[in-house]
Chain A
Amino acid sequence: MAALASLGESAPAAEAKGPRSMQAGRRRRLNLFRYLVFTVFGLFFILPLLAMVRFSLEGSTLGTWSVAAWKQIASYPGPPPLLSAVEITLELAIISSGVVLVLLVPTMIWIRLRVRWISRAFEFLCLLPLTIPAIVLVVGLAPIYNKIRHYQLSALQLFWAYVILALPYAYRALSAGLTAIDVETLSEAARSLGASWLTVIVRVIAPNMRQAILNALVLTSALVLGEFTIAYLLLYNNMQVNLYYISRTTPNAGVLFAASSAALIFAFGLLLVLSYAGRRRRRGQG
């Protein structure tokens, strides 16, 4: 509804205050073009999702409706059982985002305050995973994970690799938050009042970049929820790998589409919530 309402932010009002003022005729044609584009692209993006949801709600005979497939998510026996894979994936998302934050936030603040000369190299390292595709990383990770498996078999061990995959995205989010605040003044003020460096980082600067931390958290979680390559090739079983095996081994398309829809809706909701939370904060400050 909100989306439809703002589509109508047409001619006079937008023209008066809008930065892109132009002749009325051209504005009308532009709006026509915009409606057309939004409709076509909207359909392209929505239809596959709707089709998947519709498929998951298919009854035993064609054209009927039923929630049987959705109920089966919880009880799907596998092998391996679907619910345990979902559980593992959610736990991985939590662990990975926690480790990313513990690893990045103090280090980034510390570098900004005390070791400026290292920041270029640090940025390079953080963005490096962008040029090393997951499929390449996994070739090198395989021997390392063979060692890890000697001590611990659980699929939760995947978080070591997921932290690396999430690094560039988390770094960008945190870096944007860090440049937006006056780190030097805050830390000098805290230090002159007798705060230790730990207090400066944890209780003074980190709370000031709450939004950036939230962004990094959600980006990392979204990435973990959709990860397939590394888990699949290291022979671990997460949600995506499980869906893949269901698609290969059973004729039960309903539960496949139901679980896929649920995963998509969950990730979409997560990012949408973040986007709106971010806007509220900015409005409050301005």
Chain B
Amino acid sequence: MAVASTTETGAPPVRAGRRLRVPAWIGTVPFLGYIGVFLLLPTGIVLYKAFQSSSGGFTLSGLTALGSSAVRGYFIGSFKLCVISSVIGAVLGAILAYAVASGNPDGAVRRLYLAASGVLAQFGGVTLAFAFLATVGPTSGLLLHLSWFYDFPQGIALIYVYFQIPLMVLVFMPAIDGLKVQWREACESLGGSAWQYWRHVGGPLLAPAFLGATLLLFANALSAFATIEAWENQIAYTVPQQISTALSSEVGLNNANEASVLAVGMVIMVVVVMTGYVLLQRRASRWLH
């Protein structure tokens, strides 16, 4: 129908006679311009500042600052929080994903859980920290008063798990859906038990997808900032918090480019983790797709 309506323009059959020929890629220029200014330029600025000395020349001293004990502390803090929240989130998320996937593929439960996962995986903002404060806060909790709510990393990991599980469901569900019924039937007809099926068939098939998804959760926790900022303001435990502190107090001479250096360190971590994720996904798609 849409096609028919275009004939009203009634364009003459040949009009591209002597016109200047413009290469087709010109059409992508507005997009590339936007990306250039608001994505590539900021990234370039971060890299440039990380390698810039106080006199303006090139230096690697910023990167050696990554090895100092204070900075290492933030990276260790981030690492602890990410490992705990991503492993717990991945295991629980996989269980939930299996429970959802083994039901009716068009059912309301599946639709509800996928829609809810889509929202909750995104909604890691400050509101989440407030919600947990209202639920299990040490003095304000309506459900119970957790004395370790403000302890690092377990208190904040509890809150992170809330958005890690939904993300795991979203990422891991396709892998579970990719398990063919025939494999299970073949295993059963050969006399295999449920345990043997998971030990020798299902488990090995899902393992790469599971590890890959765990890495994605790790990267997700690494870049989260809003929740931990709203949870506890006094002490910086993680890299994002310290970047925030460094950025809002960029006056000291010795840490003029600290935010950039920390940012580069974070990008390196994310790139390593995401490379692992992509490789594992490729491995997983050999059987499941």
Residues in A lying within 8 Å of B, measured CB to CB: 2-3, 5-7, 9, 14, 18-23, 26, 30, 33-34, 37-38, 41, 44-45, 47-49, 51-52, 54-55, 103-104, 106-107, 110-111, 114-115, 118, 122, 125, 128-144, 160-161, 163-164, 167, 186, 189-190, 193-196, 199-200, 203-204, 207-208, 222-223, 226-229, 232-233, 240, 243-244, 247-248, 253, 256-257, 260, 263-264, 267-268, 271-272, 274-276, 279
Contact = CB atoms under 8 A, between A and B. Distances in A.
B270 A41 contact: no
B215 interface: no
Interface stretch (B27-35, B58-66, B68-76, B205-213): B27-35
Contacts of B127: 52, 226, 240, 243, 260, 263-264
A251 to B, nearest CB: 12
Residue in B124, B130, B225 with the greatest tally of chain A CB atoms within 10 Å = B130
Contacts of B240: 133, 135, 229
Most buried by A among B6, B41, B166, B184: B6
Interface stretch (B79-87, B145-153, B260-268, B279-287): B260-268
A7 B109 contact: yes
Contact of B260 (A33, A45, A52, A139): A139
B interface SS class = helix
A3 B108 contact: yes
Given A247-B126, A267-B119, A48 B132 contact: yes
A228 B181 contact: no
B3 A129 contact: no
B201 interface: no
A279 B102 contact: no
A140 B44 contact: yes
A104 B31 contact: yes
Given A271-B118, A275-B111, A203 B7 contact: no
A33 B100 CA distance: 11
Contact of B28 (A115, A129, A244, A264): A115
20 contacts: A3-B109, A18-B104, A20-B184, A33-B99, A34-B99, A38-B109, A41-B92, A52-B130, A104-B31, A130-B274, A132-B267, A133-B222, A136-B46, A136-B243, A204-B3, A204-B6, A228-B230, A267-B119, A268-B116, A276-B111
Given A143-B45, A271-B119, A194 B140 contact: no
B103 interface: yes
A133 B267 CA distance: 8
Given A9-B107, A140-B44, A257 B99 contact: no
B175 interface: no
B154 interface: no
Given A240-B126, A260-B131, A133 B31 contact: no
A194 B122 contact: no
B31 A107 contact: yes
B224 to A, nearest CB: 8
B2 interface: yes
B266 A135 contact: yes
B6 A195 contact: yes
Contact of B134 (A26, A55, A160): A55
- A-B pairs, 5 with minimum CB distance: A140-B42, A133-B223, A228-B226, A194-B11, A51-B135
B38 A164 contact: yes
A107 B49 CA distance: 32
Contact of A41 (B5, B96, B194): B96
Interface in B152-175: 162, 165-166
Interface string B110-128: 0110111011101111111
B271 interface: yes
A19 B131 contact: no
Contact of B194 (A26, A131, A226, A228): A26
B141 to A, nearest CB: 8
A194 B10 contact: yes
A118 B135 contact: no
Contacts of A104: 31
A6 B104 contact: yes
B39 A125 contact: yes
B57 to A, nearest CB: 19
A132 to B, nearest CB: 6
Contacts of A136: 43, 46, 223, 243, 263, 266-267
A240 B225 CA distance: 12
B95 interface: yes
A193 B108 CA distance: 44
A264 B123 contact: yes
Contacts of B95: 37
A139 B243 contact: yes
B217 interface: no
A48 B248 CA distance: 32
Contact of A45 (B103, B162, B274): B162
Contacts of B267: 131-133, 136
Contacts of B114: 275
A139 B247 contact: yes
Contacts of B108: 2-3, 5-6
Nearest to B92: A41
